[in-house]
């Protein structure tokens, strides 16, 4: 009738439209909202309803989302574990490398120390010393009584220690004619030195001696007119020609 307002009709959206709204649970099965706009200004609230199928679909989507989150968390955990494993391996490799470097450095230092010890030992074994302590120079090298006096004479009391002038090997140690008890030593550079008129000999053939090692005591054996050391030097070896010991000793830093 004219003048009366018609009651607002309750409208329900078609299923095709309601399926676009994902509802999390059955408690949210009904949605009500008010549309705005010039053409709908006087309209009543519009109520939307979701079907059980829509609810099930929404719940399935929520479940899938949770599964995705759990899978992502698992992948992150695996990634973290892999990173930790790689870091551990790298740290172990670094430790091994440092250990190798430390051992190499220690080995190098030990080799250098050993080389230094060997060099010091070599120098010590190749040093030259005077063959007797206190002495009196009584006769030189050269012609005497019509023959070559092949060495120098150094007078000292009987028993005064006689020393090897450097390291070497004893080649002869015996009593022979004019030289009495005498010792021949071949040194590291091939030079042979001879020590005559000894009272006694404290070394034997084949024995190795060091610089300054005692080889006997001064004496008066053989053709001798008083206790003294007759000292000879033969740079050419056992069969080499004798040279003046004075100049040779000076070349070794040992003066008369």
Determine what percent of the chain falls in helix, strand and coil, rounding each to the nearest 5: 35, 25, 40
| Range 80-102 average pLDDT | 90
Q: How far apart are CA 45 and CA 2, in angstroms?
A: 24
Task: Report the alpha-carbon distance of residue 135 to residue 214 in Å, rounded.
Answer: 16
Q: Name the β-bridge partners of 31.
A: 48
- Say which residue, 98 or 1, is predicted with more confidence: 98
The residue written with tokens 């008890």 in the block is 181
Q: Say what the pTM is.
A: 0.62
**DSSP conformational letter for 179:** G
Q: What is the mean pLDDT of residues 116-138?
A: 95
Burial class of residue 153 in the structure, from the number of CB atoms within 10 Å of its CB (0-12 exposed, 13-18 middle, 19+ buried): buried
**What rounded mean pLDDT belongs to the chain?**
83
Q: In the CATH hierarchy, which fold is given to the domain comprising 136-252?
A: Glucose Permease (Domain IIA) (2.70.70)
Dist. CA 64–CA 70, nearest whole Å: 10
**pLDDT score for 49:** 67
**CA dihedral in degrees (80, 83, 89, 91; nearest 10)?**
-100
Q: What are phi and psi of 204, to 5 degrees?
A: -135, 165
Q: Would you list the domain boundaries of the chain? A: 54-126, 136-252
Residues 171/182, Cβ–Cβ less than 8 Å? no
CA distance 23 to 52: 10
Helix (H) or strand (E) holding 152: strand 152-155
DSSP for residue 212:
T
The pLDDT tens digits for 129-178 are 999 999 999 999 999 888 999 999 999 999 999 999 999 999 999 999 99
Alpha helices in 148-226 (DSSP H): none
Q: How far is CA 47 from CA 9, 13, 119, in A?
A: 11, 8, 106
How far apart CA 24 and CA 20 sit, in angstroms, is: 13
In this prediction, residue 35 carries a pLDDT of 37
Check: CB of residue 71 under 8 Å from CB of residue 41: no
- Predicted confidence (pLDDT) per residue in 17-39, tens digit: 444 444 444 333 333 334 344 34
Rounded Cα distance between 172 and 238, Å, is 10
């Amino acid at each position: 009738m004219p003048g009366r307002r018609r009651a607002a009709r309750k409208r329900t959206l078609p299923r095709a439209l309601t399926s676009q709204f994902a509802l999390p649970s059955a408690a949210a099965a009904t949605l009500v909202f008010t549309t705005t706009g010039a053409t709908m200004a006087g309209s009543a609230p519009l109520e939307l309803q979701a079907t059980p199928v829509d609810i099930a679909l929404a719940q399935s989507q929520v479940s899938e989302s949770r599964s995705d989150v759990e899978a992502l968390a698992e992948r992150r955990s695996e990634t973290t574990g892999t990173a930790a494993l790689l870091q551990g391996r790298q740290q172990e490799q670094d430790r091994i490398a440092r250990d190798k470097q430390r051992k190499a450095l220690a080995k190098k230092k030990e080799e250098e120390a050993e080389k230094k010890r060997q060099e010091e030992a070599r120098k010590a074994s190749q040093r030259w010393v005077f063959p007797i302590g206190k002495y009196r120079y009584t006769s030189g090298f050269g012609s005497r009584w019509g023959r070559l006096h092949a060495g120098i004479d150094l007078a000292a009391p009987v028993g005064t220690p006689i020393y090897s002038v450097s390291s070497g090997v004893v080649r002869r140690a015996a009593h022979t004619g004019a030289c009495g008890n005498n010792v021949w030593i071949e040194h590291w550079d091939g030079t042979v030195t001879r020590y005559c008129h000894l009272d006694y000999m404290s070394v034997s053939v084949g024995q190795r001696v060091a610089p300054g090692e005692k080889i006997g005591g001064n004496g008066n054996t053989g053709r001798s007119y008083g206790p003294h050391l007759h000292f000879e030097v033969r740079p050419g070896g056992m069969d080499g020609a004798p040279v003046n010991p004075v100049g040779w000793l000076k070349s070794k830093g040992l003066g008369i």
